[in-house]
Structure 1
Amino acid sequence: MNGSDYEIEAYMKTIIGRLEEQKILGQALLSREAELIAIYGRRRVGKTFLIREAFKSNIILEFSGVHNATLKEQLINFRNKLAEEMELRILQETPKNWVEAFEQLKKYSEPLLKKRKCVIFLDEFPWLNTVKSGFLSAFEYFWNSWGTKQDNLILAICGSAASWMIQKVVNNKGGLHNRITKKIRLLPFSLVETKHYLESRNVKLDLYQITQLYMAMGGIPHYLKEVTPGQSAAQNIDRMCFTKDGTLQSEFKNLYQSLFAEADKHISVVKALAAKPAGLTRKEIINACGLSSGGTATLLLEELLESGFISAYIPFEKNLRDSVYKLSDEYSRFYLKFIESGRASGSGTWIKLSTAPTWRSWSGTAFESICLKHTSEIKKALGISGIYTEESVWRFVGRKNQTGAQIDLLLDRNDFCISICEMKFSTGQFSIDKGYAEDLQNKVDVFRQETKTKKSIFIVLVTSFGTMQNPYKLSMVQNEVTLKDLFE
């Protein structure tokens, strides 16, 4: 490790996980030229916290846009924030427009930039770009005419409207074209990051209970911080999701409406995917939601993809246009199944629901989704991390007198092998019975027959606590991955 790496590591001690992101931000602090950093990701994922912690000794101004505020309100807020940082007893006149506002920011920043590395942090950046505000063009001029010349300046812009950030900033065709020096798409915590985060808050749960929490709320720091030490996963979910003042009881609509102008359309897509765990093609989504087949559907899917609510999977030996979309946001899936459509609420609701057959069948689907987010951990457990691998899904609708088959995770490896991954969530060791063994054999047979593959096929069983030894396991399963491996 060289000197620069040691300096960067100093910024990693107060933040859980986010190692790659912290390295990017640490490198910006050591840069000898102006840096324009774009950070985007869904609401509540921890973008603001990451920037504040990584740059806490260097921020000279942090200003956040307000959802649905007018231009005048945003400018007044800016004036007040700048006055606070400058410790002015008498407020300056409110700037008439963003050009004037950025001119004030320049005058405030220039003396500080001569002395040290400085960070200007504009949070909820898309919300500042109100209708006819001229914000984006003023920002472009501010950065191009002045910011790029300030070798001690880091300008971090952050937004939850991920699609807007991609279209208007990262892929900007105008004044910001190719001006972003670094970009970070912040995703929810992984399982192991969730474990470390909970431990940092004195929440001590085993891997199975942490996975149960993850099924309900995903790796969203803002949700996880509400988990109470000394309570089980079921108790925490019960309190947060089913009591009158629970944090997640009414979060769903707020979540989508704060990100998307036409949130109802996005919610309809999410609901359609929640009803079809195997996923839907673009055409199937359009038909299910009554969308137009043109740009509307494309934009909706792009916005949900970039915000991390859904994921796209390319089927085996197909191309991008054949993508299958699946719901990947754990909280949305949990809300639609148990909170929105639930007849019961109040304390004790989840304690009862979590032992019902409905939960057991649903948990299988939820576990599959978690496994799809942890394919790198699965490959590591299989010892194939260093082998080029293409991940895909595969499904075959049986013809007349022929059984269909579906594979939710297929690892097509460059060592002339294919791993078919089966995910099973259970409270103890999973047992393969005769019926399931026949189903597995059918998948292999149909897959080989329909794809004509010449590669060796291995069945991988991903389970909570391993698979019970019996003749079916010995004859069918070549590799095992357990919950413990997903936390590595």
Structure 2
Amino acid sequence: MKKLIFVGRQKLLEKLRRLLRKKTASLVVIRGRRRIGKSRLVEEFAKTHTFYTFTGLAPTEKITAQLQREEFARQLQKYSQWPEFLKSDDWGTLFTILAKITEKGSAIILLDEISWMGSKDPTFLGKLKIAWDTHFSKNPNLILILCGSVSYWIEKNIISSTGFFGRISQKIFLEELSISNANQMLTELGFKGSALEKFMLFSIMGGIPWYLELINPSLSAVENIKQLCFEKDGILFDEYKQIFHDLFGKRSDIYGRIIKYLASASADYKEVSQNLKYSSGGPLSEYLNELTLSGFIEKDYSWSIKTGKERRIFRYRLSDNYLRFYLKYVEPNYNKIKKGIFSKTSISSLPGWETIMGFQFENLVLHNRNLVYQKLNIDPTDITYDNPYFQKETLTQKGCQIDYLIQTRFNTIYLCKIKFSKNEVGMSVIEEVKQKIKRLKYPKGFSILPVLIYVGRCSDQIEDQSYFVEMIDFCQFLN
């Protein structure tokens, strides 16, 4: 089986390649959710260079700091000229040996899953910092890359640490692939399904490269989803547990409760606090921040249309499509799947399927909002603010929530309705948008332009009405 070509990430690769032209050593930090392709990005960057790669052991109760050092020493052994097994009782010694091996010439070093590698040894980061200052930084052709999935640990202990202040040359937070890149990956795999089928896959897997690589091109989208998620030996059947155990360990239960609540709808801090029965000002803020840093949820800030300035109020949105799909469809049917009951069941007949696909499609649109800019001929520099928009009900205004709102410096507001439907989108969508506009409070002199963003088919009546200034079929971006 041939290896898949590397897809996307070209701007990030160019950022890394620019470091090769520097005349000093570089320290790089890369973070992002599991399966997002961090290691693969570094491998692609380093494929024509001398490359040293080390990976931490996945955390379990039995994995100790000593076992992490021993595993690092074992990996280091293959690069060294020492015939005997390397001593592994001290990170300082191990880093010194690695520095000796890489002290001359071009060298790219990857410390992968660095939080796993060093979180159980309080001396790890201090000795890594000393090794950088006294050894690694002395080779002007060396690039040291620190990489990991536990983003909040990296943020706290490396990016925001005084120990590494002024030493980091490049920071990268790796996001999911764009729709066009994800589509390119499906093409490379040989998947020939329709645009609607592809969006079904993206709505469940997002643009996560590792998930997309699991797709069997000889099966339909529905058959792939069933095989991966609704069979007891399906790769994505237990992926949720793997993610939360490996990333959050003992805290996985509280993180799971937060994610489960946000799987149904976005919520503000007070709503999350009340639902989980956590007092305001307690550890809940930390938990939400850690989930945000890890890339699983996003803060959608609201703003004042009158001033164009961001408000302090925001809502948390579950931005990870796989997690929502798992919590809404896989987990509630976990025991049935274990018994093989879903082997002959149509998953599209599951209750609320269309609603959840709608939520998932909204995430895809927000991840690929640059495509909306292009279709509306909006220069990004002209945008005052854009996001899902929510207006609280008060004595003087009605409440409303808008899928996606774009405000430009020309006092133009694009009110976007996002619709995913395997059936035809009917006339009711126009009345729905009219009600949103009626409720929305905005200053005089502003113009409101309704936009429909959809996947599927629209009735001829909608087009005949000429109500929407633009009807954006996201299927066109897969051509």
TM-score, structure 2 normalization: 0.91
Query: Deviation of residue 100 (structure 1)?
Result: 1.2
Q: Distance in 2 between matches of 1:197 and 1:386?
A: 27
Are the equivalent residues in 1 in contact too, given 2:196–2:475 (CA < 8 A)?
no
Are the equivalent residues in 2 in contact too, given 1:392–1:410 (CA < 8 A)?
yes
Match runs of 1:439-454 below 5 Å: 439-447=432-440, 450-454=441-445
Match runs of 1:27-66 below 5 Å: 27-66=18-57
1:230-287 deviation line (CA, Å, top 9, x unaligned): 11110000000011210011111110121124111111111111122xx111121122
* Deviation larger for 82-91 or 36-45: 82-91
* Deviation larger for 259-268 or 454-463: 259-268
User: In the alignment, is residue 352 of structure 1 matched against residue 346 of structure 2?
Assistant: yes
Alpha carbon RMSD of aligned pairs, Å? 2.3
Are the equivalent residues in 2 in contact too, given 1:387–1:415 (CA < 8 A)?
no
Aligned partner letter, 1:437: I
Aligned partner letter, 2:78: E
TM-score, structure 1 normalization: 0.89
Q: Distance in 2 between matches of 1:424 and 1:231?
A: 26
* Unaligned residue ranges in structure 1 (runs of 5+): 1-12
1:321 match: secondary structure: strand
Query: Deviation of residue 474 (structure 1)?
Result: 2.1
Q: Distance in 1 between matches of 2:344 and 2:225?
A: 7
User: In the alignment, is residue 187 of structure 1 matched against residue 181 of structure 2?
Assistant: no
Aligned residues: 464
Q: 2:303 maps to which residue?
A: 316
Are the equivalent residues in 1 in contact too, given 2:325–2:356 (CA < 8 A)?
no
Q: Distance in 2 between matches of 1:437 and 1:249?
A: 39
* Deviation larger for 240-249 or 362-371: 362-371
Are the equivalent residues in 2 in contact too, given 1:396–1:406 (CA < 8 A)?
yes
Match runs of 1:29-428 below 5 Å: 29-68=20-59, 69-86=63-80, 88-92=82-86, 94-110=87-103, 113=104, 116-173=105-162, 175-261=163-249, 262-276=251-265, 279-294=266-281, 296-317=283-304, 319=310, 321-342=312-333, 344-345=336-337, 346=340, 349=343, 352-356=346-350, 358-389=352-383, 390-396=385-391, 404-428=399-423
Q: Distance in 1 between matches of 2:246 and 2:237?
A: 17
Q: Distance in 1 between matches of 2:189 and 2:432?
A: 44
**Measured at CA, do residues 211 and 471 of structure 1 come closer, stay the same or move farther in structure 2, by a change above 3 Å?**
closer
Aligned partner letter, 1:291: Y
Query: Deviation of residue 89 (structure 1)?
Result: 3.9
Q: Distance in 2 between matches of 1:401 and 1:47?
A: 49
**Measured at CA, do residues 207 and 135 of structure 1 come closer, stay the same or move farther in structure 2, by a change above 3 Å?**
same
1:161-192 deviation line (CA, Å, top 9, x unaligned): 0111112112222x211211011111111211
Are the equivalent residues in 2 in contact too, given 1:59–1:121 (CA < 8 A)?
no
1:338-383 deviation line (CA, Å, top 9, x unaligned): 1001264237558512145521222122212221222111111111
Query: Deviation of residue 467 (structure 1)?
Result: 3.0
Are the equivalent residues in 1 in contact too, given 2:195–2:475 (CA < 8 A)?
yes
Aligned partner letter, 2:360: A
Query: Deviation of residue 298 (structure 1)?
Result: 2.2
Report percent identity of matched pairs: 29
**Measured at CA, do residues 100 and 86 of structure 1 come closer, stay the same or move farther in structure 2, by a change above 3 Å?**
closer
1:44 match: secondary structure: coil
Q: Distance in 2 between matches of 1:453 and 1:182?
A: 45
1:79-104 deviation line (CA, Å, top 9, x unaligned): 21121122554323x13211111111
**Measured at CA, do residues 315 and 349 of structure 1 come closer, stay the same or move farther in structure 2, by a change above 3 Å?**
farther
Q: Distance in 1 between matches of 2:138 and 2:393?
A: 63
Aligned partner letter, 1:71: A
* Unaligned residue ranges in structure 2 (runs of 5+): none
Are the equivalent residues in 2 in contact too, given 1:382–1:481 (CA < 8 A)?
no
Are the equivalent residues in 2 in contact too, given 1:282–1:325 (CA < 8 A)?
yes
1:189-217 deviation line (CA, Å, top 9, x unaligned): 12111111122222223321111011112
Are the equivalent residues in 1 in contact too, given 2:376–2:470 (CA < 8 A)?
yes
Q: Distance in 2 between matches of 1:350 and 1:193?
A: 33
Are the equivalent residues in 1 in contact too, given 2:49–2:108 (CA < 8 A)?
yes
* Deviation larger for 297-306 or 345-354: 345-354
